[in-house]
Amino acid sequence: MRYLKILLLAFLVFNFACNSAEPKQENTEQTEAQKQPEVKLNPEAKLLMDYLNEMGDYVNSRDFPSLIKASVVYEELDKKNLVIDIRKEEYFKKGHIKGAVNVQFSDIPEYFESKIKPFEYDRIIIACYSGQYASYTTSLLRLMGYGNVYAMRWGMSGWNKELAKDNWLSAISSKYESKLETKENEKPNVGTFPVLNTGKTTGEEVLQVRIKQLFAEGVKEATINADAVFENPSNYFIINYDRKDKYEAGHVPGAIRYKPKGTLGIKDEMATIPSDKDLVVYCGTGHNSGFVSAYLQLFGYKAHTLIYGNNSFMHDKMLAEKEKLSWLPFTEDLIENYPVVKN
């Protein structure tokens, strides 16, 4: 028994000595979030973000982006749907979808408020030339709470080949493939959000004012073309809004990848986007980036979607890697042969 007590005492002394000799290590490594300063939203930006999250956080839902194929629109022409064509009147008269109404972009809010009862329709489809303006418009309308609005993919270019000649068919290009880079560019440190000055005190009121301001400003400034971007990429803060493997396969020089479903509405991520620079947002087709740029503009960022997306500068590469990376290059087989009304 005495022998056992001696062994136990020796074990306790040895264990204490070992623990004393090796002080307990504490995890002193900080996470990236801890290293960054706390993001503080200006009052109106906070009101707006909180309100949009309360309304269902559309930009991170499975409904985002809200696109619809021309084939579905055609099949549902006899249903209780409404097609709103936002092209200029002269182009609308050259050929439009049966039953479509021509409403200019700046007139959209009034049209929804006083000309129609939006929720009486199963779907409201926004159509434009190539899909990017429709995506931008649909994003704003969805954020307003119109959950039955969709942008027609490829615009009227996907409806009829004659209408695609001056748009998608003339826009696809591979002229900047040799200028792509594959290195990963790091996000900058967090900064400050753009300051909103609507003078309103609730998120709903801030949203209403900002939406009306964006519609009044027009849709022209919502896009930018590849020539302008590649001429001097350093003039812009360029956001690649796509999968990581697609980004790594080749992107616009200087572009920084922002994760879909992991950027919009997340203040720590959005705060790394400079509020004092012109932004270029791009994806494969310009559709998704149209939705993204509308959201960013709502918060006061100077965001532009790269019209036609990757298709406008690396089309051949998209064709070659279509199966491997699930690219969506525009080709003539995507154009339907549906009839148009001329008047």
230 and 261 belong to one structural domain: yes
Q: Report the CATH number at residue 184.
A: 3.40.250.10
- The verdict on 121 and 242 lying in the same domain is no
Burial of 254 (0-12, 13-18, 19+ CB in 10 A): middle
Has residue 16 been placed in a domain?
no
Q: Do residues 222 and 275 both lie within one domain?
A: yes
Same domain for 67 and 184, yes or no, is: no
What global pTM score does this model have?
A: 0.88
Domain region containing 52 = 47-170
Residue 17: which pLDDT band, with cuts at 50, 70 and 90?
very low
Task: Report the domain count for the chain.
Answer: 2
pLDDT score of 2 more than 70: no
**End of a domain among 170, 194, 215?**
170
SS3 102: strand
| Average of per-residue pLDDT across 113-134 | 97
- Whether 163 and 199 map to the same domain: the answer is no
pLDDT digits (tens, 9 = 90+) for 196-238: 999 999 999 999 999 999 999 998 889 999 999 999 999 999 9
Question: Helices H, strands E: what count in the chain?
Answer: 16, 10
pLDDT over threshold 90, residue 1: no
Residue 39 lies in a domain: no
The mean pLDDT value for 78-90 works out to 97
| pLDDT for 239 beyond 80 | yes
What's the confidence (pLDDT) of residue 40? 78
In terms of domains, do 275 and 306 share one? yes
Assess whether 128 and 190 both reside in one domain: no
Q: What are phi and psi of 204, to 5 degrees?
A: -65, -40
What are the distances in angstroms from CA 152 to CA 95, 129, 155, 165? 16, 10, 5, 17
Buried b (16+ CB within 10 A) or exposed e, 92-102: beebbbeebeb
pLDDT in tens, 22-63: 444 444 444 444 455 677 788 999 999 999 999 999 999 999
* Cα distance between residue 42 and residue 39, in whole Å: 10
User: For residue 52, what are its two tokens?
Assistant: 């949009």
Residue 334 located in a structural domain:
no
Q: Are residues 212 and 112 in the same domain?
A: no
What gap in Å lies between CA 135 and CA 321, rounded to an integer?
Answer: 26
Residue 23 lies in a domain: no
For residue 18, being part of any structural domain is answered with: no
Inside any domain, residue 121: yes
In a domain, 245, yes or no: yes
Q: Cis omega (within 30 of 0) on the bond before 118?
A: no
Task: Assess if residue 15 is contained within a domain.
Answer: no
Angle, in degrees to the nearest 10, between helices 203-217 and 43-54: 100
